[in-house]
Structure 1
Amino acid sequence: MSELKLHRRSILLLGAAWAAGLASQAHAQTTETTSSISTPAPKPKLNSTLATHTGIVADKGEAAMLTLGSEEALTGAIAHYQEIVAGGGWPTLPNKKVGKTTKGPQIVLLRQRLVAEGYLPFDALTVATPEVFDDEMSQAITAFQINHGVAQTGTVGDKTLAELNVPAEARLAALQENLIRVQIYSKGIMERMILVNIPSMQLETSHLDRVYSRHNVVVGKLDRPSPALMSKVSDVNFNPYWKIPASIVEKDIVPKYLADSSYLAQMHIRVFDGVDGPEIDPSTIDWSSTPPERYFFRQDPGDFNSLGLVKINFPNEFMVYMHDTPHRELFGGNARLESSGCVRIDQVKTVVDWVLDGQNGFDSATYDANIASHENSVVKVDAPIGVRFMYLTAWATEDGAVNFRPDVYGLDGTGFVLGQPEPKTN
C-alpha cells in the first residue's frame, strides 16, 4: 500500500500554546498479537480490517523502505521532528473516538494535531467550519494510519488515538535510534533487494529502489525472535524437506510425540540415525534421556510440510530462511509474531517468480510445474539479489513518508542493529 507524504509547513506557530498539553512519557506501543513447526493450530483472532496488504504495486512507483537515499530521507525527517519538538510538540487529544459525523472542539484540536506533524496544511486551521470532520481530515487520518501500520478507516479509533498521542519527543527519539540501523542496512545495497522489516511484519521486493511487490509476513515469536541480517539469495528449494533444528525437536517435536505416539506419522516426520544414517523406529528410543541432537528429524515434502511448497535460501549464521506455510490463515491477522525465527511469506509465488524471472526460461508456468511434480528440486539463483532482515521501528522513504512501528522485541535503546535478539518470556 502506498505511504502518503507529509505537508512540510510552518507548524511551529502553534507550538508554544500546545506545550503544556504534552504527555510526560512516551506511549507504550503494543501490537494486537496476530514456529517453524506446522501442527494443527487454532486460528488466530482475525481483525475485521487488515492494516497491511499483499500485492504487486510496481505500477505505483513507490519508494522502497530501504534505498540508497534512505539515510538522507531519515536525516531530513529527524530535522523536521527536531523543529516540531523545539516548537512545543503537538496537543494531546481527549480519549474520544472520532467518526465522520463528529463535530465540536475535539475536531478543532484534532486539526491542530494533524497540522503539527504535517498531515494537513496550515490553512486547514482557517477553514469556515474547523469543528467539522471533513473529507480532507479523513484523508489525512488515512495517511497517518498507513504510516503507522494501523488499519485504514479514515476515522479515529482506539489504536489511531493511541498513536496520535505518542509525544513528539518519543517520535524524534525513535527516528534518531534508527539512523544507525539505516546507515548499516543500506551498505552494499543491490539493484534488486528483498527487504523484510520485522517490526512492521512486511516484506518488499524492490528493483532500482522502487517496490515491485509488498507482502505480509510472519516473523519470530517473542521467545524465538527473528534475527537482523544482511545476505543475498542463493537458491530456491521447491517441495522442500524440512530438516528440523534440534531446538525445535526439543521444544516442540518430542513433547508432541510423547503426548501422542502417532504424531510423527501424522506429520510425515521421519527419524534418522544421523543426517546420512538409516531411518529408525522412534518407539525404540527412550526420549526422556536422549538429547535432541542425537537423531536427525526430517519432514517429507507436501502440503503438510512446515515450510509449505517452497523455500528461499540465503547464507547466514542463524540458520533461517524465507518460506511458504500451510498455515496461511496467519496472514489474516495484524500481529504476526508466530514463527521460530524464519520468515513466512504471504503469496510467496509472487516473490519466487520475481526472483527467478527469465532465468533459463523460468516463468510462472515453470513454478507451477515444479510444485506439481511433488519432487524436491533446488534452483540456484544466478542474479544478484540482496536480502535484509531489518529491525526498523522508524524510517523515512525518498517520497516523503515518515513511518513508525511498535518496538516488538524491546530493542530500541539497546544499540541493536544486527544479530540475534535475546528471547523475551512475556
Structure 2
Amino acid sequence: MRDTNVSRSSRRLLLGAAMGALALAGLIPLAARAADADGQAEWPQSYEASPRMAIERESTPILSAATVDATQAAIQKYQDIVTRGGWSAVPPGADLRIGSKGARVQALRLRLVASGDLDAEAGAGPVYDSFVEAAVKRFQARHGLSQTGAVGEGTIAELNVSAAARLQQLETNIVRLKTFSGDLGQRYVVANIPAAEVETVENGVVYSHHAAGVGKIDRQSPIMQTRATEINFNPFWTVPPSLIKKDLIPKMKADPNYLTDEKIRIFNGKGEEVSPTSINWNTEEATHFKYRQDTGADLNSLGIVRINIPNPYGVYMHDTPSKGIFGDDFRFVSSGCIRVQDVRDYVAWLLKDNPGWGRDQIDEVIRSGQRLDVKLTQPVNVYWVYITAWATPDGVVQFRPDVYQRDGSGPGPLASAVPAQPMAIPQE
C-alpha cells in the first residue's frame, strides 16, 4: 500500500507535468488528459489507426444476442484459418518498431495478414512501416494490450498463440455467452474478469466502459450475479479476516510501525481501540481483533467510494488511490474485489434514479470527506463473468488471457509472464 520511493503527492506532480506536456504536444487525446478532483490521472486507454482498420469504442454489450451471433461467425472464420494451416510464428528477438527491417518483419507481416489485422495489399516486404504499425496497434487492441505499435515480448507471445488454440478459446466462450443472452435487465453492469473491464448497459446499449482491477490469480474474483444496492461515500476499510493472517501479521512482524503509518486502527470485541504494542504479533492473538483503516482518498484502500453488491463472497466494487493500475496491461491485483476506473461517473450512473444525486452532488460529498451511505432507489443488476474470447458485430475478434485457467488450456502468455509480486496488504 505504500510507495517507498516517491510520495503520492510528488508522483502526482510528475504525472500531471508529463501528461500536460504530452497534451500540449498533441501526443495524447483530450480524453486521456482527464484527472479526478484529487489530481490522479485515470489512464484511459485509447487507440488510433486508419479509419478502415480502427477498432471503435464498442456499443454492443458483451452479454447480448448480437455478441453470440458475431462470435459464432468468428468461429467459422477461425475454422477456415485452421483448415488453411493456421499461421506461422514470429521468431523471437529484439523489439520491432517503425524502421525495423529483416526476415522477422516479413514474418510479422504474414502473421498479421493471416488474422486480418493487416491488408494483404500492404505487401509482404521486410520493412516495418506505418501500415505494419497500425496493424500491430489493432492486434494489440484486440488482445487487451497497450497500443504502442511496437512488438515486444508480450505482443510476440500473443502473436504466437496458434490459430487452433484461438478457435478452441472461441468455442469454449460461446457457451458462456449463450448463458447470458437473455433479458438481463433494462440497466445492468457487466464486469468481465479476464478483460479486467466493466461496462454499464442501458436499454441494450453500452453506456460507459471502465478499466478495472480484479482478483489476483491466487485470490480470484468470483463469477456471480447480484445487484448494486448502496453507495458508501468516504468509507472506512475493514481488513477482511482472511487478510489478517496472510498479510497484516507478516507486515507487522517486519515493521512494527506499519499499522500506524497506514492509519489502520485496532478494535477489540467491545469496540475499544487497542494499541498495536499491546498485541503479541508472534501468536494468534492478533486474529481476535478488528482492523479498520481511516477514510481518505489518498490513503484508504477503498478510495472515495464503495459500491455494495450483496453476495456470499464478501466482495464489492470500489475506487482506489492507486489510479496508475488502470494504465497497466495486467490488472489482476486485488484480493477479489473490483476497483473501477472513473468511479465517479460510474456512481453517477448508478444513482441516476435517485433524486438530487447528480455528479455535482457526488463531487461535493466526496470533497466534504463526510461518511455517507446512499441506497439506490432502483437496485441495478450486476454480473461478474469470465469471458476470454468474443467478437463484435463489426467483425472484430477479441481475446484475453485465461488467467484463472478456466478455459482448460493454461493461463495464456500474458499471465505466465507476470513476475512474482512482493507481499503487501492488498488494496481491495
Scaled to the shorter chain, the TM-score interval is 0.7 to 0.9
For 1:64-143, list aligned pairs within 5 A. 64-95=61-92, 98-102=96-100, 109-121=107-119, 124=121, 133-143=128-138
Aligned counterpart, 2:274: 280
Contact 1:190/1:384, CA 8 A, preserved across alignment:
no
Matched residues, number: 374
For 1:14-413, list aligned pairs within 5 A. 38-40=1-3, 54=44, 62-95=59-92, 98-102=96-100, 109-121=107-119, 124=121, 133-186=128-181, 188-274=183-269, 277-290=271-284, 293-303=287-297, 304-357=299-352, 359-413=354-408
Deviation string 1:20-50 (CA, Å, 9 cap, x unpaired) is xxxxxxxxxxxxxxxxxx445668xx9x999
Contact 1:53/1:215, CA 8 A, preserved across alignment:
no
Cα separation, 2, equivalents of 1:131 and 1:234? 57
Contact 2:79/2:167, CA 8 A, preserved across alignment:
yes
Q: Secondary structure at the match of 1:381?
A: strand
Aligned counterpart, 1:30: none
Contact 1:111/1:137, CA 8 A, preserved across alignment:
yes
1:364 Cα offset (Å): 1.4
In structure 2, relative to structure 1, the CA distance for the partners of 1:361 and 1:64 (3 Å cut) is same
Cα separation, 1, equivalents of 2:260 and 2:404? 35
Cα separation, 1, equivalents of 2:275 and 2:129? 69
Deviation string 1:64-110 (CA, Å, 9 cap, x unpaired) is 33334222222221122112111211233333554333556655544
1:238 Cα offset (Å): 0.2
Q: Secondary structure at the match of 2:140?
A: helix
1:319 Cα offset (Å): 0.7
Cα separation, 2, equivalents of 1:240 and 1:269? 13
In structure 2, relative to structure 1, the CA distance for the partners of 1:55 and 1:81 (3 Å cut) is closer
Residue ranges of structure 1 left out of the alignment (5+ in a row): 1-37, 417-423
- TM-score by length of structure 2 reads 0.76
Identity fraction in percent: 40
Contact 1:177/1:412, CA 8 A, preserved across alignment:
yes
Judge which range, 328-337 or 242-251, deviates more.
328-337
Q: Secondary structure at the match of 1:189?
A: coil
Contact 2:326/2:341, CA 8 A, preserved across alignment:
yes
Contact 1:322/1:344, CA 8 A, preserved across alignment:
yes
1:323 Cα offset (Å): 1.0
Return the letter of the residue paired with 2:62.
M
Residue ranges of structure 2 left out of the alignment (5+ in a row): 7-14, 20-26, 29-41, 48-55, 412-418, 422-428
Judge which range, 398-407 or 250-259, deviates more.
250-259
Cα separation, 1, equivalents of 2:274 and 2:97? 63
In structure 2, relative to structure 1, the CA distance for the partners of 1:291 and 1:156 (3 Å cut) is same
Contact 1:177/1:413, CA 8 A, preserved across alignment:
no
Contact 1:205/1:213, CA 8 A, preserved across alignment:
yes
Contact 1:66/1:209, CA 8 A, preserved across alignment:
no
In structure 2, relative to structure 1, the CA distance for the partners of 1:103 and 1:300 (3 Å cut) is closer
1:291 Cα offset (Å): 5.2
RMSD: 3.5
Aligned counterpart, 1:3: none
Cα separation, 2, equivalents of 1:146 and 1:230? 28
Q: Secondary structure at the match of 2:211?
A: strand
Cα separation, 2, equivalents of 1:330 and 1:171? 27
Cα separation, 1, equivalents of 2:184 and 2:391? 17
Return the structure number with greater relative CO, CA threshold 8 A, min gap 6: 1
Cα separation, 1, equivalents of 2:139 and 2:324? 27
Cα separation, 2, equivalents of 1:91 and 1:56? 29
Deviation string 1:142-171 (CA, Å, 9 cap, x unpaired) is 211110122223343433333222211011
1:281 Cα offset (Å): 3.8
